[in-house]
Every structure is written in C-alpha cells, then in structure tokens.
A = this chain, B = another copy of it.
C-alpha cells in the first residue's frame, strides 16, 4: 500500500512542554505509532552548552515511551530562537494511504540513526562518508531515483566537548579542533558535504582538505545542526516521490546571501503560495513548515556593508544570524514558527543557505 506523510507544527512552551503533542493525540490528529521524526526548535543558545536540546530530547523520549510510539523516532533538536523566532515541534508521521495516485508526486520522508562516530572522526572526511552512505539508504527506502527530487536533508550531528577531546588524546589520537564551539562548525560542514556526496553535488576527491573552508564546496539541500547529546547522526530526508500520496509537497531554494529573498519567493510560488509580498492569513495556513539555515558571511559583509557578527565576543555569530535571517524570512511568511538553524557551513554559499518549504497544495490532486 502507498505511504503518505503528515506534518504537524506544534508550539512548545519550553523544552519539556509535551502538552501540544498530547493534545494532538487526544484530538485524534496525531497517531504516536506513526511518528517517524520530531524536529524541535528549542530556546537555548544553540551552541556548546545548550542544554535545551538534551532536555527536549529526554522529554520527548519519555513522552514517546508513555505514548507507546515506535522505537526509531528520529529526534533532531536545533537550539536557538533568537529574535522573535518561536519554539516549536515539527512532527512527521508516515501512514499507509488509500488515496488514489495523484498522477504526480507527494512528500516522502525517511530517516535513519547512524552508529556512533568516534570523536576523532568529527569534522573529518570519515564523517562525510558515513553520512553519504546513510542518505543513500534512505533514498532507496523512499523510492526516489532522481536526486533532484530531494529537497531537504536534515542532519543532527555530534560535537567535541572537553571530556571527549581529553578521551581521544588520552588514547593517543588527535581531534579536528580543540575549540569546542568550532567543532560544531566542522561537524556540520562534514555532514553537509556527506549529503552533497549522496546527492551527486560533489565527488569524494573534491572534498580533500575542504572541510571548514568557507570558500569550499557546498550542498544546496543539507541542513545540519550539532549537539552534545549524541555521537551518531540523526538524518531525515524530505523529497518528492511518485510512490507516495497526499496533499503535501516540499520544494527548496538557496539564498545567495542573508537578504536573498527572490529564490524563496519563487519556491513559494511554485508551491502555489503567492510569494509577492507577505503571505495573507489564508495562504499562510497552507504553509506547513519552513526550514532554513542562516550564517554570518565570512567576508564580514552583506552586499558590501560590514556586519559585526564575527567580531562579537558577547553574542556568538550563529545567534546573530538566526535572529536576522529569521526576520528576513518571517517578513515574507508572516509568522515566527520558522525552523531557522544556525551554522550553515558547506550548506549553501557562504553567508547564504538552503531553505525548504513544506506546503499543503490548494488542489492536492495537482501534480507538483
């Protein structure tokens, strides 16, 4: 039988606020057994000592256990709701569907949890290869043959902490960096290049020595966030597949810089949302989720005007970038429950980043 993806965007009152999820179950909207992934935008600093991610993960695990959900739910928590961004959960269900074939494609979502990565591999080529292999496996499961039908790959990746570095070095190994905050950047970058490999955007030999180089290759559809709560990877692929059913569709854009709204407007228009000015309230209700990466341009400027994000020792650059790009995108969409994630190393061009939009088609029978 065909499969159908359902996506629920639910407000979170805190990292441990399960009330919205429980209410959705009680209303009959959400079937715990069908959940394959929960993405959480939590309100920590999104950097090394952001415990909101671990707290949310623990809270969700306890909730899923109480709800007797399946065992392999991918949990990807991304810290940081700077500016007016609003903490929320994005819950993805996969159900069997008896909808008729729409004569086209529909949103297909698959996920995997990879085995733990040795901390010494974090931010290095071995990490990229591990991610690439995992993405390939998911594409097979989703019946997606053409990488062009993949629009977003969300990866949660590990980071180095002081104890992990000490353990590697005690065992005679080396680490990619001693700077724990910097390890988040390298890990995100290696994971993104792994996605690029899987989608045919780069070749393995082109990656040698480029991880961490802001001028290096990048992936147009990867979104990676790092957290201390895991050592493997949680990977979730969002694509369009003829083997799937339902009214949802996904498309993506790549912003060339922090102000590059034109590709986002175009993607919204392709999805049947009028992206000219700000979405009106009726249209906005059909925008199910927006996921984006934000990053401070490494040349220290946006369209020639200096920014201070990289020179600010009070607020990490990733926090500045999330707040600002959050504003740019919220100005288009008209609401603030956006999954804007910081640290876009090798995820879109330097200073820009990929944006994925999941929408409910006005006419679900229309092929996308």
Contact = CB atoms under 8 A, between A and B. Distances in A.
Interface string A76-96: 000001111111100000000
A86 B305 contact: yes
Given A323-B327, A337-B305, A313 B45 contact: yes
Counting chain A residues whose Cβ lies within 8 A of the other chain, the interface size class is: 35 or more
Contacts of A259: 84, 278, 330-331, 334-336
Copies in the complex: 4
A34 interface: no
Nearest to A212: B178
Contacts of A205: none
A252 B15 CA distance: 38
Contacts of A306: 11, 13, 86-87, 162-163
Contacts of A337: 305
B328 A45 contact: no
A150 interface: no
A319 B326 contact: no
A208 interface: no
Instruction: Name which of A54, A178, A308 has the most chain B CB atoms within 10 A of its CB.
Output: A308
B312 A49 contact: yes
Contacts of A325: 327
Contact of A326 (B16, B86, B277, B324): B324
A49 B59 contact: no
Interface in A300-314: 300-303, 305-314
Interface string A159-190: 00111001000000000001111100000000
A84 B300 contact: no
A25 interface: no
A321 B323 CA distance: 9
Contact of A324 (B50, B84, B181, B315): B84
A24 interface: no
Interface string A8-38: 0001011110000000000000000000000
Contacts of A48: 311-313
Interface string A33-65: 000000000011101111110110011001000
Contacts of A50: 313
Interface in A313-351: 313-316, 319-321, 323-332, 334-337
Given A15-B55, A162-B306, 4 more contacts: A54-B55, A85-B307, A261-B331, A262-B277
23 contacts: A14-B51, A43-B51, A49-B308, A54-B55, A62-B62, A81-B307, A83-B309, A83-B324, A84-B258, A85-B307, A161-B311, A162-B311, A261-B277, A262-B278, A277-B277, A305-B335, A305-B336, A305-B337, A315-B319, A323-B324, A325-B327, A327-B331, A331-B332
Q: Which 9 A-B pairs have the closest CB atoms?
A: A327-B327, A83-B324, A47-B313, A323-B323, A162-B300, A86-B305, A328-B331, A55-B55, A324-B327
